Structure 1
């Protein structure tokens, strides 16, 4: 309930844009299309869907009208001076001030190009990609079924057709295709076998917790280091977060010297 009240209070604090179209008027209060859009965007997904049609939008505007009527009633009864209302408004104001202050302050705290390149050059192992294979598999319940499936492939049936016919795994419907993956993405027995095979290699049955697999590797990629440009976005995010956290930590220490803090 408190969250809903806060949401309403915050929305009432925004002034309508000059170009916004007025869609309703309650006393001297106007409801414009910008407010309708903003308020609808705050709704949970299921309610957004319910109010998506033109009829739904009219119902939503009617709810806003009711809200304004209640607001006018509350104002008439001096709730703009109510102690609880003023306390909540102060909390909303504090939150808005903190958020805007942090946004403005941290916007200028970013790692320089030199810092990004220095970190990249000194931590190259961090940007090493993982080796990957592109493979398909046939999953069977027993070793005998897996051997029979492999025999069908060796006799000329396509791996995909056999997978779609007998594989019990969810990938069976798409010919056993697992796409590209690294060793760590698979259970150890499966990953070790897949990465031991050469391109176009076909495994014997491999037992895992899921059953018995026949694996075929279609392609392989060796581990490669990301270029500076490829790593830039992650680098900036990491170093900017580090610098900003350091700045905030130092700022808090200084503020604690200026203001007494007592925690009960």
Structure 2
């Protein structure tokens, strides 16, 4: 059943009966399709209800869905007429929903021309046009439990031992089987003690034993490079969102400057009251 429309489970979709039209009628949003004790249900109400349905309802035959939605709206109206007024909680919720819907309409109209290929390209150029890149490092390491082990391995390496083969044989870290390779990484991705040791190395140099929370390391710096700016397609969505957020914020700032907004100081009213549901319950 369509979300927000189904109230009486006994009315299955297969049981909906077609209501013959008395005469050919030109479609109009204000055309009355049902009258419930004097309250009108229009074609506009039907169209808005169908537009809010999940995509899978598109598979239902139009004539079946048309009659079904009208029946559901009639049921809603019958039930709604049993209440003279909404309770305070629901009335306030309805006012919030209306405010939110009008705000969304304003935003949608505002954003119509904000995002274009030209604006995205301009935003990309502004952010990455002078991109200089960050330092990145390609390093390998051998991890062991004690400083003594690390010193012994360092002696072997200084005597000409192959770093990758030694890592495969002696490293206890998960990168050991891969020759100790850690691949490329930037600053901030490794624990400080490890990063400081890497930054201090020259290409091809092996560090003295370095202690971290994981144990003792011997590190070799394989290579360095500068990071490259991301491609436009990789950040297109991010840039579009930023353009939209900037446009919305600019509009809010403009409206705020043009408007008279008052927030009176109220004794006894503060953050703690937001959970006092009893204040709006009848």
Q: Which TM-score tier does this pair reach, normalised by the shorter chain?
A: 0.5 to 0.7
Q: Which of 254, 257, 262 is the matching residue for 1:253?
A: 257
SS of equivalent to 1:202: coil
User: What is the TM-score normalised by the length of structure 1?
Assistant: 0.57
- 2:18 paired residue number: none
Q: Which of 178, 191, 201 is the matching residue for 2:205?
A: 201
- 2:108 paired residue number: 103
1:134, CA displacement in angstroms? 0.8
CA distance in 1, matches of 2:153, 2:84: 79
Q: Which of 180, 185, 189 is the matching residue for 1:181?
A: 185
Post-superposition Cα deviations, 1:61-113, rounded to whole Å, max 9, x if no partner, equal xxxxxxx8xx9489446367650455434432322221232132134346958
User: What is the TM-score normalised by the length of structure 2?
Assistant: 0.54
Higher relative helix content: 1
SS of equivalent to 2:211: strand
**Change in 2 beyond 3 A, CA 1:77/1:119:** closer
The aligned runs of 1:35-114 (5 Å cut-off) are: 72=75, 75-76=78-79, 78=81, 82-84=85-87, 85=90, 87-109=92-114
The 8 Å contact of residues 210 and 217 in structure 2, kept in 1 or not, is answered as yes
CA distance in 1, matches of 2:59, 2:144: 64
The count of aligned residue pairs is: 209
CA distance in 2, matches of 1:174, 1:147: 22
Give the aligned CA root-mean-square deviation in angstroms. Answer: 4.6
The aligned runs of 1:1-264 (5 Å cut-off) are: 9=4, 13-15=49-51, 20-22=58-60, 29=68, 72=75, 75-76=78-79, 78=81, 82-84=85-87, 85=90, 87-109=92-114, 116=123, 119=126, 124=130, 127-151=131-155, 153=157, 159-172=163-176, 174-222=178-226, 226=229, 233=236, 241-242=245-246, 244-254=248-258, 256-257=259-260, 261-263=262-264, 264=266
Q: Which ranges in structure 2 are unaligned for 5 or more consecutive residues?
A: 7-47, 267-282
The 8 Å contact of residues 175 and 182 in structure 2, kept in 1 or not, is answered as yes
The 8 Å contact of residues 109 and 243 in structure 1, kept in 2 or not, is answered as yes
The 8 Å contact of residues 124 and 239 in structure 2, kept in 1 or not, is answered as no
SS of equivalent to 1:83: coil
**Change in 2 beyond 3 A, CA 1:98/1:239:** closer
Larger radius of gyration, structure 1 or 2? 2
CA distance in 1, matches of 2:151, 2:110: 65
CA distance in 2, matches of 1:76, 1:173: 70
The 8 Å contact of residues 109 and 244 in structure 1, kept in 2 or not, is answered as no
**Change in 2 beyond 3 A, CA 1:238/1:9:** same
CA distance in 1, matches of 2:203, 2:215: 24
